[in-house]
Amino acid sequence: MRDEAPRAVTAICRALQEQIERGLLPCGSQLPAERKLSEVFDTTRITLREALGQLEAQGLIYREERRGWFVSPPRLAYNPLVRSHFHAMVGEQGRVPATEVLSARLMPASAEICQLLELPALSSVYQIRRARRIDGRLVLYVEHYLNPAYFPGILDFDLTLSLTDLYASEYGIHYGRVRFDMVPTALHPEAAAALKVAPGSPALRIVRINRDQHGRLIDCDLEFWRHDALHVSVEVPD
Amino acid sequence: MRDEAPRAVTAICRALQEQIERGLLPCGSQLPAERKLSEVFDTTRITLREALGQLEAQGLIYREERRGWFVSPPRLAYNPLVRSHFHAMVGEQGRVPATEVLSARLMPASAEICQLLELPALSSVYQIRRARRIDGRLVLYVEHYLNPAYFPGILDFDLTLSLTDLYASEYGIHYGRVRFDMVPTALHPEAAAALKVAPGSPALRIVRINRDQHGRLIDCDLEFWRHDALHVSVEVPD
DNA sequence: AAATAGAGCTGGACTAGTCCAATTTGGGAG
DNA sequence: CTCCCAAATTGGACTAGTCCAGCTCTATTT
């Protein structure tokens, strides 16, 4: 028994990790209360919470605001080179997608959006804010900004459906070139609230700038994914 | 004037964020000591540290183990579709790259590596572990695993240089198809030690599986990037 | 001028609690 | 059996410290 013990935090991490990997704590199951766990590991709640925080950073567990800690489900495979929308992508991987519309309106574009869509200053844009789930779990907060010139009256449609499909069926517009920008960062307060997680949780921010079949900038998406909800795969041809 | 409770942590974040954005704390500069800052903001070190942790998660600041907190430099643009190696990529963006070799040896392949390289069980592979810097800052820990059949005697060369170049000049091998897998996660202890940061810091794990011009699996890289050191750009053609 | 020993800082890790707000849950009324 | 309210429980936020290891810088010595 050496004095050189591993840090309490890493010891707790290892113990929990093992339990999860052996399937004693199945995917989606809830962990015991923080106070219980701190008793089990004979430590402070602060220390215990730091261990949980590290497992969260690894993506092994996640928390729901004020509800508790849960074992993370598998990540979704996200391939930017394959043109697919959320519902199709999730469904193909044997999971159940869901979408809710948080807001949808015509609004003055921010400077950032004007730049992304190459619009003149003080332009108006359609903004659609949505939250999306996989198997019931909130994983994605998106803000869509559409150039209104191409999509008159789009707010009257059912916006819980795929925008891709709406573009095609109602406006004859298909995606052409797309630009992705992926940045590991933290959720800003608005996104955190929508996903019902602690503000500042780690996240993957994906900015998509979409052109149509004629090369026209039609819209852009600001996506905020829970960092543990996806892995990005890219197959680069020769 | 916020509608909700202005948590101490978010208030501190906002204050520091503003100072950084206005350039009062330039890139690369060191923040005052935690104890000083906790006095300035009239709070505990624990609370102050949580605020710093959130700014770290956002990528605005970073820490060096036992040295202090610093303002993050700009992120490196990383485009998986553009075939470029570390030194070239960094240099093109006006930054100064550096590489050090941590270890290089022939070793039995782990089960994971066998699978990635489609090798039979108990195969041997060259393992090269390197740490890489941008403008002096440690940002990337990589483990390369090479199929030794294609690279006899490679350990005798200067491995601080680009492997890509070595492959081409010494073995006539060029990259063909490449597969990327990017996962937001946390640094494991070994990578954390190599990058001199706290174990469990957020990171972007990138697994590259490389084939040569003939479609043969030649090597794979396990990369661990500091999460705040890069942003991934992908331009998808029509 | 270079090498070095040591003191003082700095971050890292942890303890032992408190107060609050939201969520759950259990029990009683209808 | 359902619905609703109150109590118990849980996570969120924070205070006020302690002890330790590694880095740095200074002052002294060689």
pLDDT of residue A23: 85
The domain A76-232: what is its CATH number?
3.40.1410.10
Residue A91's pLDDT is what?
96
How near does any CA of chain B get to the CA of A153, in Å?
27
Residue B237's contacts (CB-CB under 8 Å, 6 or more residues apart) are A177
Rounded to a whole number, what is the distance in Å from the CA of A235 to chain B's nearest CA? 5
Picking from B13, B184, B236, the nearest residue to A202 by CB comes out as: B184
A–B CB contacts, 8 A cutoff, strictly below: 120
Q: Which CATH number fits domain A8-71: 3.90.1300.10, 1.10.10.10, 3.30.450.20, 3.50.50.60?
A: 1.10.10.10
Q: Taking Cα atoms as reference points, which of B134, B157, B135 lies closest to residue B146?
A: B157
How confident is the model at residue B52, as a pLDDT?
A: 92
Nearest CA in chain B to A209: B235
Q: What is the mean pLDDT of residues B216-238?
A: 94
User: Looking at residue A2, what is its pLDDT?
Assistant: 33
Residue range B87-123, pLDDT digits in tens = 999 999 999 999 999 999 999 999 999 999 999 999 9
Cα gap A182→A44, rounded to integer Å: 37
The pLDDT tens digits along chain A (238 residues) read 333 456 888 889 999 999 998 888 888 899 999 999 999 999 999 999 999 988 998 999 999 888 899 999 999 999 999 988 999 999 999 999 999 999 999 999 999 999 999 999 999 999 999 999 999 899 999 999 999 999 999 999 999 999 999 999 999 999 999 999 999 999 888 888 888 888 788 899 999 999 999 999 999 999 999 999 999 999 998 8
Long-range contacts of B218-221 (CB under 8 A, 24+ apart): B218/B146, B218/B147, B218/B150, B218/B151, B218/B167, B218/B173, B219/B117, B219/B144, B219/B145, B219/B146, B219/B147, B219/B151, B219/B163, B220/B113, B220/B116, B220/B117, B220/B144, B220/B145, B221/B142, B221/B143, B221/B144, B221/B145
Q: What is the pLDDT of residue A6?
A: 63
Q: What is the pLDDT of residue B185?
A: 92
- Pick left, alpha or beta for residue A58 (phi over 0 → left; psi -120 to 50 → alpha; otherwise beta): alpha
Summarised one tens digit per residue, pLDDT across range B113-140 is 999 999 999 999 999 999 999 998 999 9
pLDDT band at B175 (very low <50, low <70, confident <90, very high): very high
pLDDT at residue number B2: 34
Measured CA A112 to C1' C9 distance, in angstroms: 43
**CB B203, CB B195: distance < 8 Å:** no
Question: Are B54 and A200 in contact (CB < 8 Å)?
Answer: yes
**Using N-to-C axis directions, what is the helix angle for A45-58 and A8-21, rounded to 10°?**
50
Compare CB distances from A184 to B180, B184, B233 and report the shortest one's residue: B184
Cβ-nearest to B182 among A13, A53, A232:
A232
Considering chain A, tell me which residue range(s) the CATH 3.40.1410.10 domain(s) occupy.
76-232
pLDDT (0 to 100) of residue B200: 80
Distances from the Cα of B19 to the Cαs of B2, B15, B27, B48, in angstroms?
20, 6, 11, 16
| Interchain pair B184, A59: CB under 8 A | yes
Question: Is 90 exceeded by the pLDDT of residue B189?
Answer: no
Q: Which residue of A has its CA nearest to B187?
A: A58
Task: Write the DSSP string, A7-28.
Answer: PHHHHHHHHHHHHHHTTSS-TT
Rounded to whole angstroms, the Cα distance separating A24 from A31 reads 11
Mean pLDDT of chain B: 91
Q: Which nucleotide is nearest to B32 (CA to C1')?
A: C10
Which residues of chain A does B237 touch, with a Cβ-Cβ cutoff of 8 Å? Answer: 177
Of the pLDDT bands very low, low, confident and very high (cuts 50, 70, 90), residue B198 is confident
Across the interface, whether the CB atoms of A186 and B81 are under 8 A apart is answered: no
Per-residue model confidence (pLDDT) at position A200? 80
Predicted confidence at residue B188, as pLDDT, reads 84
Residue count (chain B): 238
**Which protein residues, judged by their CB atom, are less than 7 Å from any atom of strand C?**
A 7-9, 43-47, 50, 65-67; B 31, 33-36, 45-46, 49, 63, 65-69, 198-199
Contact B182 A228 (CB under 8 A): no
Alpha-carbon distance A10 to A130, whole Å? 37
- Identify each DSSP E strand in chain B by its residue range: 61-64, 68-71, 76-78, 97-108, 124-134, 137-146, 175-186, 202-212, 217-226, 230-236
Q: Is the full-model pTM beyond 0.85?
A: yes
The residues of chain A that CATH labels 1.10.10.10 are 8-71
Task: Give the whole-number percent of chain B exceeding pLDDT 70.
Answer: 97
